[in-house]
Structures are given as C-alpha cells and as structure tokens.
Amino acid sequence: MTAPGTGDDVLDAHSTAVPLADGRELIYFDDGPGHDRSAPDQRVLPARDMRSEVRYDPISGDWVTMAAHRQSRTHLPGRDECPLCPSAPGRHGEIPASGYHVVTFENRFPSLGGPPAGGRCEVVCFTDDHGSSFSHLPERRLETLARAWTHRTRKLAELPGVEYVFVFENRGDEIGATLQHPHGQIYAYPFVPARVARALDMARSYRAERGGCLFCAVVAAESAAERVVARTDRFVAFVPEAARWPYEVHIYPHRHATGLPDLQPDERAELMVLYRDVLRRFDHLFDAPAPYVAHLQQAPAGPDAELAHLSVRIFTPRRAENKLKYLAASESGAGAFINDVLPETAARHLRRAGRA
C-alpha cells in the first residue's frame, strides 16, 4: 500500500491482479471496494506466439516492428463472440469476471514482447458495456481509468529495456480497430518512437537557444488564440495552428508536467473530464460516432524526461459527413501533410458541437 491519495506504484485496495490461463497478467481496477475478482480463467489456451522483431531503418532512422503472428489475431468478431465482454456460462473471454469496471491485461497477440523484440503490449478495457464508449463513462469511472493508466505508465517504464510508454485508443472501422468493445492499449516500446524523439529534439534545441520549455511556450500562445475549443482551470484544449488532420485537438496542462505520474489525483480527474468533453464534441460534429485516434504524449523512461510535457491528442480522419481524410502520396511518401479544413474553422465547429 502507498500513502492515501497516491496509490500509483503498487496495487491499492481497489485493484486485484490475477493470472490468465496462459500465464498472462490481468489487473482489475475497481471504482470502489466490495468486488470479488477471484473467478478463475476457465479456458485452455496454447502458449503465446512471441516472434516479434524490431528492425532499424538506417535511411529514415526509424525502428520498425515485425509481428507477422498478428495476422491471425481476432478480427471484428460478433458481439456474442467479443473477447472483451465479461465471461458468462458457456462463453469465456479474456476477462474471467462476470462484470468489471476497468481491466488491463497483457495482449494475447502482442506487437512487442519476448526476447527478440522486448517491450510489452497491454489492453485496457474501459467498461464491461459492449455498446458504450469512452465519451459515456461517468466521472467515477474516469478517475478509475486515470488510476489504471498512471499505475501502468509507472510500472511499464520500470521494465528492463523499456524506453517509452504509449497509451492510446483506436476507435472505429475507418481507422482499423479490430474490436468494437470500448478499449485502448498501452505499448511499452524498447525504443523512443520517431515522432516523440523528434519533438524532444525540438524541445532540446529550444531550451538551448531560448531557455525554458518549448511546450509551455506553445500552450501559452495557443491559450490566447482563437483555436481554443474548451478549457478548465488547469487545462486547455485547442486545435493546433499547424493541425495535420481535419479535426485534431491537443489537451495540455498549463503547468509543466511530464506525464500522468506528475499529476495529483484531482488534476487527473479534471483532465479526464475535459478529455471526455472533447470526445463528445467529436461525436456531435456530424451526428454520428466519430472514428478517432487518441493518445497520450508522456516523458520517455530515459534522461530526456524533463524535456517532455504531458498532452492528450485526438484526431478523426472524417473531414466531412461522408468524406474521410486519406494519407496519400504527400503524407505517406513525403511526410508532408495537407489539411482540407482550416484549424480556425475546425475549432469553431468543435466549440459549437459542445452545445449540441
């Protein structure tokens, strides 16, 4: 146990770790006390396939993961076969309990892990309600999810060889989500991903030339601009001036914090409510659930941690009611994005969507 109000480094009284049938770890994070999580995994599972490799591209400087075994992973199952729904008589999935709040567990079909690649991949289930979504979670559940994310960020960063912990969610067939149950993932990379490394390089150069934090300067400028979508006392959500996607929002704390572990519990709760608000605005843009990618930018595990500044970033590839943004030659081949929607227009639409 840790001191009251922290509860991040070890499992607290409202969390329970259990083994799955193939030896993977699953952790229940509950909204409160009084929940029995002793139900065993009744499946008979084969040993996991851990043949991933991480290869270095000497021309781009990127690390690329080879995970051919994922071709056989579960793909768009029907609701009756969803592996993330609670287990029931005659149907046993990844979560043994008959109901749950938030669950994290090692991915059965991981992109990373094992001796060749290193790292670790986990799944995070936000709710046991198959038809729900992040934007419908109550505030108590948001606090539980923040607790789970923070705990896993800290513990995964401590694993040997892990250099960066990446928390994310892919939602919608349009962006390639293979399971429809509300969930996200966490990748513990054995390298710092290229885009994160580039941002840290920019922050390092800014500090050397001007002093201070590049991200803090950006937050100050954007907080005074017309692209603000929503704000709270300690956080601001805005469409960045050079947004790559038609509808893209970044959420930052005003104060310098490098990741979720740097925030106090009340700050995390405030962040999660604003995050939910932004996702609701995305859903109201075109009166349909928005396909989106959302992720947290946090500090790397190494010596560059203080250069980082926590942010949540969300975008949808939907640029109009019946049109999607595709990564064509300029984006995929040259790495030069072309945006069809002015960021100022996107921000205005998102502000209006908050009144829907």
The answer to whether 183 is a known catalytic residue is yes
Q: Which of 101, 181, 183, 250 is catalytic?
A: 183
Beta-carbon contacts of residue 62 (< 8 Å; ≥ 6 apart):
56, 194
DSSP per position, 66-105: E-GGGGGS--S--GGG-TTSBPBTTB--SB-SSS-SEEEE
CA 9 to chain centre: 19
- Angle, CA of 216, 266 and 253, to the nearest 5°: 10
DSSP per position, 253-311: ESS---SGGGS-HHHHHHHHHHHHHHHHHHHHHTTSPPPEEEEEE---SSTTGGG---E
The label of the residue with tokens 């928005």 reads 290
The label of the residue with tokens 């840790």 reads 2
CA contacts within 13 A on the Cβ side of 26: 25
Kindly state the tokens that stand for 345: 């227009």
Judged on CB neighbours under 10 Å (0-12, 13-18, 19+), 95 is buried
The span from the CA of 212 to the CA of 217, in Å, is 8
DSSP per position, 286-297: TTSPPPEEEEEE
**Active-site residue list:** 183
